Amino acid sequence: MIGHLHERGERRRGKTRLGPWSRRASGGALAVALAASLLGCATTEKAAPAGLAAAAAPSGRVVGMRRLTESQYRQTIADIFGRDIKVAGRFEKVARSDRGLIATGTSDSAISPAGFEQYDLMARSIALQVTDKRHRATFVPCAPADARLPAPACAGAFYSEVGRYLVRRPLSPGEVDFYVRTAGAATATTGDFYAGLSLGLAAILVSPEFLYRVERATADGQTLDGYSKASRLSFLMWNTGPDKDLLSAASRGDLDAAKGLRAQADRLLASPRLEQGARAFFTDFLNLDRAYELTKDPVVYGAFNPQVAEDLPEQALRTVVDHLIVRDAPYPEIFTTRQTFMNRRLGVIYDVPVAQTGWQPYALPANDDRAGLLGLGAFLALNSHEGRSSPTLRGRAIREVLMCQPVPDPPANVDFSGFNGASTAERRTARQRLTQHVSNPVCAACHKVTDPLGLPLENFDGIGAYRSAENGAAIDAHGSFENKDFTGAAGLGQLLSQSPAPSRCLTQRVAEYAVGRTRTRLPKGWVDALFKDFQAGGYRFRVLMQRVALSPEFYAPPTSELPAAKVAELRPAGAKAKEVQ
Partner 1 sequence: MPFPSRRKILRGFLNGAAVSVSLPLLDCFLNDGGTALAAGAPMPLRFGTWFWGLGVTPGRWKPTVLGRNYDIGPELKAIEPWKDQVSILSGYDVKLDGKPNIPHGSGGIGFRTGVAPTGGVLPAPSFDVLISDQVGSSTRFRSLEISATGDQSNSLSGRGNGSLNPAEGSPAGLYTRLFGPGFTDPNSGEFKPDPMVMARKSVLSAVSEQRKDLENSVGAEDRRRLDQYYTALRQTEQQLAIQLEKPQPLVACKIPDAPPMGEVGNQIEHVVVNHKVMAQLLVMALACNQTRVFNMSFNQPASSLTRLGSTISHHQLTHEEQIDPKLGYQPESTFFVERCMEGFGYFVGLLASLKEGDGTLLDHCMVLAHSECNFAKEHTVEGIPVMLAGRAGGRIKTGLHIDGGGTPATRVGLTMQQIMGVTVDRWGTGSMDTNKTISEILA
Instruction: For the segment 541-580, give every residue that binds partner 1 (CB under 8 A).
Output: 561-562, 564, 566-576, 578-579
Helices (H) and strands (E) in the chain, counts: 25, 8
356 near 341, Cβ under 8 Å? Answer: no
Please, which residue, 124 or 267, has the CB nearer to partner 1? 124
Tell me the closest approach of the beta carbon of residue 74 to partner 1, in angstroms.
15
Q: Which stretch binds partner 1 (CB under 8 A): 43-51, 143-151, 385-393, 475-483?
A: 385-393
Q: Which of 23, 147, 191, 444 binds partner 1 (CB under 8 A)?
A: 191
Report if residue 60 touches partner 1, rule: CB under 8 A.
yes
What is the DSSP track for 100-149? Answer: S-HHHHTTT----HHHHHHHHHHHHHHHHHHTSTTTHHHH-----SSTTS
| Residues contacting residue 457 through CB under 8 Å, at least 6 positions apart | 374, 380, 389, 391, 394, 477, 488, 489, 492
Q: Per CB under 8 A, does 207 bind partner 1?
A: yes
The site for partner 1, by CB under 8 A, has a size of 104
**Nearest to partner 1 of 207, 337 (CB atom):** 207
For residue 274, give the H/E element and its range.
helix 274-285
In angstroms, rounded to a whole number, what is the distance separating the alpha carbons of residues 81 and 92? 23
Which residue lies nearer to partner 1 by CB, 5 or 334? 5
Query: Is residue 290 within the footprint of partner 1 (CB under 8 A)?
Result: no
CA 20 vs. chain centroid, Å, equals 18
Answer left, alpha or beta for residue 49, where phi above 0 means left and psi between -120 and 50 means alpha.
Answer: beta
Distance in Å, CB of 362 to partner 1, minimum = 27
CB contact set of 192 (below 8 Å; sequence gap of 6+): 147, 148
Cα gap 337→329, rounded to integer Å = 10
CB of 542 to partner 1, least distance (A): 24
Query: Binder to partner 1 among 122, 151, 211, 364 (CB under 8 A)?
Result: 211
Among residues 6, 136, 213, 216, which is the contact residue for partner 1, using CB under 8 A?
216
Closer to partner 1 by Cβ: residue 92 or 245: 92
Q: Draw the binding track, 100-129, toward partner 1 (x: CB under 8 A; -: no contact).
A: --------xxxxxxxxxx--x---xx--xx
Comparing CA positions, the residue from 224, 229, 271 lying closest to residue 247 is 229
Nearest approach, Cβ of 526 to partner 1 (angstroms)? 22
- The stretch among 293-301, 335-343, 449-457, 508-516 that binds partner 1 (CB under 8 A) is 293-301
Measured from the CB atom, the residue of 310 and 369 that comes closer to partner 1 is 310
Minimum distance from CB of 221 to partner 1 (Å)? 12
Is residue 416 a contact residue for partner 1 (CB under 8 A)? yes
Single out the segment in contact with partner 1 by CB under 8 A; choices: 151-159, 181-189, 315-323, 546-554: 181-189
Nearest distance from residue 393's CB to partner 1, in Å? Answer: 12
> Would you give the DSSP letter of residue 421?
S
Selected from 77, 197, 199, 265, the binder of partner 1 by CB under 8 A is: 199
By CB under 8 A, tell whether 467 contacts partner 1: no
Distance CA 137, CA 573 (A): 46
Site map (CB under 8 A) of partner 1, residues 240-279, x = contact: ----------------------------------------
Contact pick of 1, 414, 501, 529 for partner 1 (by CB under 8 A): 414
Please state the closest distance from residue 523 (CB atom) to partner 1, in A. 18
CA 389 → CA 50, 66, 150, 459, distances in Å? 64, 36, 63, 10
Say which DSSP state 384 is in.
B
- For position 143 contacting partner 1 by CB under 8 A, the verdict is no
- When binding is defined by CB under 8 A, the residue of 9, 12, 49, 93 that contacts partner 1 is 93
Q: Are 216 and 63 in contact (CB under 8 A)?
A: yes
Among 258, 228, 239, which residue's Cα sits nearest to residue 556? 228
Q: In residues, how long is the chain?
A: 581
Should residue 384 be labelled a site residue for partner 1 when binding is judged by CB under 8 A? no
Question: Closer CB to partner 1, residue 192 or residue 256?
Answer: 192
Residue 442 interacting with partner 1 (CB under 8 A): no
Segment contacting partner 1 by CB under 8 A, of 235-243, 284-292, 408-416, 514-522? 408-416
Contacts 24+ apart (CB under 8 A), 426-431: 428/470, 428/471, 428/472, 428/473, 429/458, 429/470, 429/471, 429/473, 429/475, 429/476, 430/388, 430/389, 430/390, 430/391, 430/455, 430/458, 430/470, 431/391, 431/455, 431/458, 431/475, 431/476
Pick from 147, 258, 422, 474: which binds partner 1 (CB under 8 A)? 422
Q: Which is nearer to partner 1, 95 or 263 (CB)?
A: 95
Nearest-angstrom CA–CA distance, 138 and 448: 62
Binding residues among 6-45 for partner 1 as defined by CB under 8 A: 10, 16-19, 25-28
Binding partner 1 (rule: CB under 8 A), the pick from 69, 182, 240, 315 is 182
Outline where DSSP puts E strands in 434-540.
469-470, 473-474, 478-481, 484-487
155 binds partner 1, rule: CB under 8 A = no
Q: Is 400 in the site for partner 1 (CB under 8 A)?
A: no
Q: Which helix (H) or strand (E) holds 298?
A: none
Min CB(495)–partner 1 separation in Å: 30
Q: Where are the beta strands (DSSP E) in 434-574?
A: 469-470, 473-474, 478-481, 484-487
**Which position among 4, 23, 46, 90 is part of the footprint of partner 1 (CB under 8 A)?**
90
- C-beta closer to partner 1: residue 182 or 319: 182
Q: Which residues contact 486 (CB under 8 A, 6 or more apart)?
A: 456, 478, 479, 480, 492, 494, 495
Q: Cα separations (Å) of 515 from 64, 479, 552?
A: 9, 37, 12
Q: Indicate the residue among 355 and 573 with the shorter CB distance to partner 1.
A: 573
User: What is the rounded CA–CA span in Å between residue 29 and residue 19?
Assistant: 8
